[in-house]
């Protein structure tokens, strides 16, 4: 597994296993165990996924030393603000059943983000969080909040794939060596992307599937990518991308697929309120 060094010196696996929308009915536990057995060492969850407990149990039951598994979770909107964020951090540690979290993110960029960030900075200083970052920040939102922070985020997790390459955001992030993490790295199963001739021709050339070509592109671009699946075969194939390298011309051909658009607009009016009401998280 290739590793990426964050701007705080923490090393993170370039490919992680996402568990968004995997139910907490035993399915998350099973999927995470499958992922760890397949070689993943980076698991990405969140308070608002409501499956942190199964992620933590799978990590503890895996038999793999804790320090070899990179665990990410995210603070939900209902725990923003300094005092509420301290409660949210402790809640996630309790749900995961872990002594520390490797990466902890501001999940949605609304309301009292600076207060929550301060609590996260303190938790990092206390060793409860190894690294801290943000998610879903556009350049406009980044420039609204981050200048109020005492420390720079290590990552910004955003929608990112060959159709949505976040080029403007990447220029801004590069100024402080902030890494892009990709959610929807395969376009959420976008058939147009997966069946695009640029992708399928490369898949044929390298004896890979379309998803593997896309994930390889993202890793070579320097992204941290987070494919999700509950299918054991797909879980294994999504990490089998380190035995080939795309050429510069092939990388350029995929870069040319960028539309500059995303399916989710964090700046749309009312998004924060809608999300807060959609996911009710108790202490």
pTM for the full model?
A: 0.95
Q: Phi and psi at residue 17, in whole multiples of 5°? A: -110, 115
> Token pair for residue 187?
């376009």
Cα Dmax for the chain: 54
Range of the domain at 221: 3-274
Q: Is 18 helix (H, G, I), strand (E, B) or coil?
A: strand
Whole-angstrom distance, CA of residue 221 vs CA of residue 218: 5
Quote the CA–CA distance of 236 and 71 in Å, as a whole number: 19
Token readout for 156 is 């910004």
Residue 282 lies in a domain: no
Q: At 108, which CATH number? A: 3.20.20.100
- Residue 59: what pLDDT? 98
Q: Count the domains in the chain.
A: 1
pLDDT (0 to 100) of residue 5: 98
Residue 35 in domain? yes
Asked if residue 115 belongs to a domain, the reply is: yes
**pLDDT at residue number 32:** 97
Instruction: Check: CB of residue 157 under 8 Å from CB of residue 178.
Output: no
Asked if 239 contacts 38 with a C-beta cutoff of 8 angstroms, the reply is: yes
Residues of the chain with pLDDT under 50: none
Domain assignment present for 25: yes
Q: What letters, b where the CB count within 10 A reaches 16 and e where it falls short, cover 117-132?
A: bbbbeebbeeebbbbb
- With H, G, I as helix, E, B as strand and everything else as coil, classify residue 29: helix
Closest among 138, 74, 136 to 101, alpha carbons compared: 74
Q: Is 217 helix (H, G, I), strand (E, B) or coil?
A: helix
Give the Cα separation of 42 and 124 in Å (integer).
19
Question: What are the residues whose beta carbons fall under 8 Å from the beta carbon of 139, sequence distance 6 or more?
Answer: 168, 169, 172
In a domain, 283, yes or no: no
Radius of gyration of the chain (CA): 18
CA 277/CA 258 separation, integer angstroms:
33
Structural domain includes residue 280: no
DSSP lists the bridge partners of residue 81 as: none
Q: Within a domain: residue 142? A: yes
Give the C-alpha separation, 131 to 103, whole Å.
Answer: 5
Active site residues: 49
pLDDT of residue 276: 87
Q: Where are the alpha helices (DSSP H) in the chain?
A: 27-38, 52-61, 82-96, 113-125, 139-145, 167-174, 191-194, 197-206, 210-220, 232-237, 248-255, 271-278
Domain-embedded: residue 281: no
**Reduced DSSP (H G I as helix, E B as strand, rest coil) percent helix, strand, coil of the chain, to 5:** 45, 15, 40
Sign of CA dihedral 22, 227, 178, 8: positive
Report pLDDT for 280: 82
Q: For tokens 């979770």, name the residue.
A: 73
Helix (H, G, I), strand (E, B) or coil at 262: coil
């Amino acid at each position: 597994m290739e590793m990426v060094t964050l701007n705080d010196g923490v090393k993170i696996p370039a490919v992680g296993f996402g568990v968004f929308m995997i139910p907490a009915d035993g399915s998350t536990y099973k999927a995470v165990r499958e992922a760890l057995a397949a070689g993943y060492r980076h698991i990405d969850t969140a308070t608002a996924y409501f499956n942190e407990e199964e992620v933590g149990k799978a990590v503890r039951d895996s038999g793999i030393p804790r320090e070899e598994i990179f665990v990410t979770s995210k603070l939900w909107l209902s725990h923003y603000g300094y005092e509420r964020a301290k409660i949210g951090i402790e809640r996630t540690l309790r749900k995961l059943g872990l002594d520390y979290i490797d990466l902890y993110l501001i999940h949605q960029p609304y309301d009292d983000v600076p207060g929550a960030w301060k609590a996260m900075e303190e938790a990092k200083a206390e060793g409860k969080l190894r690294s801290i970052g943000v998610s879903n920040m556009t350049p406009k939102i980044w420039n609204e909040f981050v200048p109020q922070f005492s420390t720079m985020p290590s990552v910004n997790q955003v929608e990112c794939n060959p159709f949505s390459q976040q080029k403007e955001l990447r220029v801004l992030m590069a100024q402080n060596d902030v890494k892009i993490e990709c959610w929807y790295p395969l376009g959420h199963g976008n058939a147009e992307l997966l069946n695009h001739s640029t992708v399928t021709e490369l898949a044929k050339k390298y004896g890979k599937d379309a998803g593997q070509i896309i994930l390889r592109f993202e890793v070579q671009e320097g992204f941290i990518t987070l494919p999700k699946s509950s299918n054991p075969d797909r879980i294994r194939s999504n990490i089998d991308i380190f035995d080939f390298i795309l050429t510069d011309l092939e990388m350029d051909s995929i870069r040319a697929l960028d539309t500059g658009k995303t399916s989710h607009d964090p700046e749309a009016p009312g998004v924060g309120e809608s999300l807060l009401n959609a996911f009710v998280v108790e202490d």
